[in-house]
Amino acid sequence: PAGIEVEWFASTALRAGLRNGYREPGRLGCDRFAAAIGARALAPGQDLVVATCGTATTVDAVSADGRFVGGMILPGLALMASSLASNTAQLPQVAPGALPALFGDNTNDAILSGVLSAQAGAIERAVAGHRATACIVSGGAAPYIAPALKVAHLAVDNIVLVGLHAAAAWTKGESAC
């Protein structure tokens, strides 16, 4: 519509009160930057970890004073499972599902336990290493991964959209959420 200005969101050195600590701020994926802004809007003034669990899983740290510290990128839950099926002999393709026993008593449960444990372990390691007081988990695979976590966390649908809203509100001088 006429009169509506379109802005393309991009990672910058500073946005919505969040300082981008990436070596080259413009190289940080804009989805990760938006997720960090959203997480900070939901947990201001806290050292936090935000995990976005999709095709890839990203696990990023934000400091209490508002700096995007950096993060990790690992294959997502389905990608891990399909990698096993594609690259090993006789292992089946396993779809994400309910959290099985830690030690599966069949191949499907053993694979699912392994990929869920890898995802949860990366998030838990980030929380411990950053000494985070808040952990936010989002993304399509979050409902499968969250039950495997042994750290307190908040599941948030669409953290990237929460961040885009917070960034837009900040630009207009409104409250973040």
- Catalytic positions: 31
- Listing DSSP states for 56-105 in one string gives EEEEEEE-TTSEEEEEEEEE-HHHHHHHHHHHSTTPPP----S---SS-S
Three-state DSSP at 107 gives helix
Selection from 31, 36, 46, 51 nearest residue 120 by Cα:
51
